[in-house]
Amino acid sequence: MKALRRFLSRLGHFVTRRRDDERLRQEIEEHIAMQTAENVRAGLTPIESRRQAMLKFGGVEAMKQDYRAERDLLFVENLLGDLRNAGRSISRMPGLAAVIIISLAIGIGVNTTIFSWIQMILFQPMPAVTGASNFLLVEPRSDTAGYPGASWLEYRDLQTHVPALRDIVASQMMPFNVGRPGQTERTHGQLVSGNFFSALGLKPAVGRFIRPEEAERPGTESVVVISYDYWQTRFRGAPEAIGQNLRVNDRELIVVGVAPKDFQGTTPPLKFELWVPATMTPALLGGTRDLEDRTSRGFSLIGMLRAGATRQEAQSELSTTMAQLARDYPEASAGFGGEILSFREAPRGPQRLLISGLAILQGVMLLLLLAVCGNTANLMLARGSTRQREMAVRVALGAGRWRIVSLVLSENMLLAVLGAGLGAAFAVWGTTALRIAPMIGAFPILFPTKVDQFTLAFAIVLGVACGLIFSAAPAVHLARLDPQDALRSGSNTSQRSRGRKVLMGVEVGLAMVVLIAAALFLQSFHSARQTDPRFRPEGVLLAAYDLSGRNPDDASEREFAARLLERLRSLPDVEAAAIATNVPVDLHGIPRRPFTVEGRVRAEPGQDRAISNTVTPGYFNVMGIPLLEGNDFADMRDKAAPAQAIVNEEFVRRYLNRADAIGRRLQTRSQSFAIVGVARDSAYDALGEPPQPAMYFSYRDRPAEQGEIHLRTRSGSESALTAEARDVLRDLDPMLALYDVRTFSQHIERNLYLRRIPARMFVVLGPLLLGLAAIGIYAVVSYAVARRTREIGVRLAFGATSGRVVLQIIRENLAAITRGTAVGWLLALVISFHVVPNGPVNFPVFLGVPAILLSVATLACWIPARRASRIDPVEALRHE
C-alpha cells in the first residue's frame, strides 16, 4: 500500500514533470540561515557561523541526489534515455541494423504464419462461432466400425438423454446438385438439426435461420440457408435473395436466410454453402429412409456443456445412454459405445492430418529463428566489443553494471521489437496469401486463418525472447568489463573470442540442420515430380459423378456405370474409358482394407492390410498398367462369372512368396473373390514411394454410388473431352453434374500443393540462412583480425608471408565452424532416421550441404583474413 502510494506520487511527478528543486533549495537556505543565526547567538563570528552551519548540514549535492532518487521514477527516466540512445546508435549502423531487423522479421514472420494455422486448428475450430473450442464432439464408437457417426434416431435419443450437454447439434455433409436440369452445379451443404444455428449462437446476416419445428416433420418445410459467400456470388448480395427459390436436387427450396460472414460450417477447413433441415433428406435424396434407419450413421454431433456440468458427467451419461440403445436396438447399436471428445481430439477429418505436419514445420522454423538469434548475438558481440572503450569510460565514471546491461539490452530490444513488428506484417501478408488455396480434391476447402491478437502476441513474445537471447552474451560481456584493462590499449583476452567462436559454431550447426532438412525436402519434392509413376497420366482426363442424390441400389449403380462407359467409349476421340472409386496420388490417400488370402498364414497377431481400389474392366488399359499374368475383369453385364480380384506384384511377393497367384481365393469383409490377374506395381499414395501391396476389385461385384471417370484421349488434348463427357452424363440423367473435372497431370500437381508451400518456404529460407551464417562468420573473423592487427604486423615484420597469415586465421576459425558443422550434421542424420526410419541415407544431400556450407564459411573467413594480411607492417605496429 505504502509502496503503491509512493509509486503514484513518483509517477505523478514523472508525468507532470513538476520540478520542485526550487522548494528544496529554499528549504536548505532557510535551514542554514537558522543554524547560522543560532551559532551567532552562541557567540561565533557571522562568517564562522555560516561555515559551521554548512559543515553541519553536510554535502548539499549528494543530498540533492538522494532527494531526487527519492522523488523521481529514475528507472523510467533511464529507460527513456536508453531508448533514445539506442535509437541513435542504431541509426549510426543502418546496414547492420537492416540485416538484423530483416532476418529477424523473416524468422518471426514465418513462425507467426505457421502459428496462426496451428492456433486456428486448436483454438478457433469454427470461424464466426464465438467460443467454438468449448464445443465437444459426441462420437458413437465401436471396435469394429471405428467412429462412423450417429444415426438420426440415435441423435434424437442422445438429445434428451445427455442432460449435461445443452443443445446437441447434428449435421451431415452432403453434396447437392443445384440448378435447373441440364445445368446443375455440384455444391456442398450440410443437412442440419433444427437447433443448428441457435445452438451455435449465430445471427443471420439477412433473413432468418431454420426454425426448430422445420426439422421435426419430414419433408414439409422446403427451406434453405445459404452462406454469405454464396449470397454474394450467386445473388450479388441482394436482399431480395430472401424468398427466392433455389433448385436443389431437382426440388425447389426457399432461401430464408443468409449465414453470417466467414461462417463455413462445423467441419473446417471444409467450406459449405447450403444448410438444409435434416428432415428434408428423403425429399432431396430420392425418398431415402435413412432418417428412420438406425444403421444409417452419418451425422456428426457436437454440443456444449451445460453450466456447471463436467465432461465426466457428459461422458458417463453418454455411456449409459449408448448402453441402453445397444440393448434396445441390438441389430443397429450392439457393440457401440460413445466418446466425448474435444475438437482437437477429432478422430476423423482434415484437421488431424494437418496438425502434425504443421508441428514439424514449426519446430524447424523455430530452429531457424534460433540460428538468426545466434547470428545477431555474434554481430552485436563483435560490435559491442568495439565499444569496449566507450563502456569502460562509462563504468569508470560510475555507471553501475545494471546501467550498462540495460543500455545494451535496450538497444537490442529495440532491434528485436522492430524485427517483430516487421515480422507480424510479413505474417499478415503470408496468411492472406495462404488463405487463397484452391479447392483441394473433391472438397471445397478454405483455411480461415488470420492474424489476430493471439498471433500478434506470439510474434511479440518471439521478438522479446529473441532480444533477450541475443542480448545476453554482449550484455554479460560488457558488464564484466574491467575499465582499467579495457582502457589500456591493445588488450585482448582469449576467453572472449572463444565465446564468440562457440556461438559461431552453434550457429553454423543450426544452419546445417535446417539446410539439410530443406535440401531433403526439396529433393523429395523434386524427385517426386520426376519419378515415373509407373502408370501413364499423360492424356487422361478425370471427372467424378455422384448418384447419392438418386438413392440408387447396387443394380442401378452397376447399370449406370455400364451405360456410361458404353456411351463414353463410343465418343470418337476416346481411346479407352474406365471408372474407379479411387484415383492414385490423391491427397486423401487410398483406403486400405484388411484381407485374408489362400496360402498365407500370418505368424504375428493382427490383420494384413492392402490398398484397395474398385475399378471397371478396361481400367488397366486406360492407366497404362500392364497385366503381367491372367486377364482383366469380366464384362460389367456378365452375371455368370464369380467375384473377381486382381492383385499387384508386391502383393504376390509379400503375401504369396512369389507363388502363382491366379485362382487363389481372397477374402475381405466376409466376401470371397477369385484372383484372376496380377498387375504391375505402380504409385498409389505418392510418386516415388516404395512398392505397396494392392488389390483391385471389380465394379461389377462391388458397385458404388460415386465414381471417378478415367478417359484416355486419342488426340492427346485430354481437356478437349470435357464438354463431350458432360453431355454424355446429362443425357443419361439431367439432374447429375459432372464435377471435379481435371487432367491427370493437374490432379497430381494439385495434390502436391500442400507440399509445395513448405517447399517454397525452404527455397527462400535456405539461401537466406546460408547468407546469415556467412555474414555471422564474416563479422566474427573480421572483428577478431582487427583486434590482432598489431600481432599480425609483428609477424609480417618478422618475415611471415601473407599467405601463411591468411592460412592460420582461416585454420583457427574453421576449427570452430567444423565442430559446429559436425554436430549439426549428426543431429540432422538422427532426425532423418527418426522421420524416415529404415529409409536410405540421402548421400548427395548429406555430403553436398556440408560441402557448400564449409566453402561458404571458408570464403567468409578468407575475405577479412586476406584484408588483414595485406596490411603494411609499419602501419600495423603504429595501430593503437
Which residues contact another protein by CB under 8 A? Answer: 2, 5-6, 9-10, 23-24, 26-28, 30-31, 33-35, 37, 56-60, 62-63, 66-67, 69-71
Query: Smaller CB distance to another protein: residue 4 or 555?
Result: 4
CB 27 to another protein: min, Å: 5
Cβ-count burial 734-773 (b if 16+ within 10 Å, e if not): ebbbbbbbbbbeebbebbbeebeebbebbeebbebbbebb
Q: Would you say 72 or 685 has its CB closer to another protein?
A: 72
Nearer to another protein, 15 or 555 (CB): 15
**Residue closer to another protein (CB basis): 29 or 292:** 29
Contact between 652 and 620 (Cβ < 8 Å): no
The nearer residue to another protein, 61 or 880, going by C-beta atoms, is 61
59 or 642: whose CB is closer to another protein?
Answer: 59
Residues linked to residue 812 through DSSP beta bridges, in sequence order: none
User: Before 125, cis peptide (omega within 30)?
Assistant: no
Q: Toward another protein, which CB reaches closer, 33 or 93? A: 33
Beta carbons of 769 and 507 less than 8 angstroms apart:
no
Tell me the H-state helices in 143-294: 152-161, 196-199, 228-234, 281-284
Cα(299)–Cα(854) distance, rounded to whole angstroms? 58
Nearer to another protein, 75 or 429 (CB): 75
The set of residues, in sequence order, having a beta carbon less than 8 Å from that of 369 and lying 6+ positions away, is 107, 108, 111, 462, 466
**In terms of C-beta density within 10 A (0-12 exposed, 13-18 middle, 19 or more buried), how is residue 29 classed?**
exposed
Cell numbers representing residue 366 in the block: 523455430
The answer to whether the CB of 237 falls within 8 A of the CB of 231 is yes
Shortest spacing between CB 21 and another protein, in angstroms: 12
Sole residue written with cell 503503491? 4
What is the Cα–Cα distance from 230 to 272, expressed in whole angstroms? 9
Cα 447 to Cα 430: distance, rounded to the nearest angstrom: 13
Three-state secondary structure string covering 510-565 = HHHHHHHHHHHHHHHHHHHHHCCCCCCCCCEEEEEEECHHHCCCHHHHHHHHHHHH
Angle formed at CA 778 by CA 84 and CA 791, multiple of 5 degrees: 100
Residue 62 or 555 having the CB closest to another protein: 62
For residue 429, the minimal CB distance to another protein (Å) is 50
CB closer to another protein, 68 vs 141:
68
Cα–Cα dist 692/684, whole Å: 8
- Least gap, CB of 77 to another protein (angstroms): 17
Nearer to another protein, 69 or 603 (CB): 69
Annotate 356-374 with DSSP letters as a single string.
HHHHHHHHHHHHHHHHHHH
Smallest separation, CB 69 to another protein (Å): 8
What is the C-alpha to C-alpha distance for residues 722 and 599, in angstroms, rounded to an integer?
45
Identity of the residue, 8 or 145, whose beta carbon is nearer to another protein in the bound complex = 8
What is the closest distance, in whole angstroms, from the C-beta atom of residue 22 to another protein in the complex? 12
The C-alpha atoms of residue 698 and residue 546 are separated, in whole angstroms, by 18
- Which triple of cell numbers denotes residue 35? 543554524
Q: How far is the CB of 65 from another protein (least distance, A)?
A: 9
Shortest reach from residue 16's CB to another protein, in Å: 15
Question: Quick one: 67 or 329, whose CB is closer to another protein?
Answer: 67
Nearer to another protein (CB atom), residue 59 or residue 594: 59
Give 69 or 601: the residue with its C-beta nearer to another protein. Answer: 69
In terms of Cβ atoms closer than 10 Å to its own Cβ (0-12, 13-18, 19+), residue 716 is exposed
Closest contact distance (angstroms) between CB of 820 and another protein is: 53
- Least distance to another protein, CB of residue 34, Å: 4
Smallest distance from the beta carbon of 42 to another protein, in angstroms? 13
CB 455 within 8 A of CB 112: yes
Give SS3 for 342.
strand
Residue 19 CB, shortest distance to another protein, in Å, is: 14
| Distance between start and end Cα atoms, the chain | 56
* Smallest distance, another protein to C-beta of residue 73, A: 12
Nearer Cβ to another protein (62/436):
62
- For the chain, counts of helices (H) and of strands (E): 28, 21
Answer yes or no: are the C-beta atoms of 765 and 106 closer than 8 Å. yes
Residue 179: which region, alpha, beta or left (left: phi > 0; alpha: psi -120 to 50)?
left
The distance of closest approach from Cβ of residue 398 to another protein in the complex, given in angstroms and rounded to an integer, is: 19
- Shortest Å, Cβ 45 to another protein: 20
Which among 557, 548, 722 is positioned nearest to 188, based on CA atoms? 548
Of residues 104, 73, 690, the one with CA closest to residue 371: 104
The residues facing 613 across adjacent strands are: 696
Using the minimum distance from each CB to another protein, give the nearer residue, 60 or 723. 60
Alpha helices in 310-349 (DSSP H): 311-328, 330-333
Query: Of 56 and 637, which CB lies nearer to another protein in the complex structure?
Result: 56
Longest distance between any two alpha carbons in the chain, whole Å: 140
Tell me how far, at minimum, the Cβ of 8 lies from another protein, in Å.
Answer: 9
CB of 457 to another protein, least distance (A): 35
Closest contact distance (angstroms) between CB of 164 and another protein is 53
Residue with cell 558443422: 821
Q: Which three cell numbers stand for residue 823?
A: 554436430
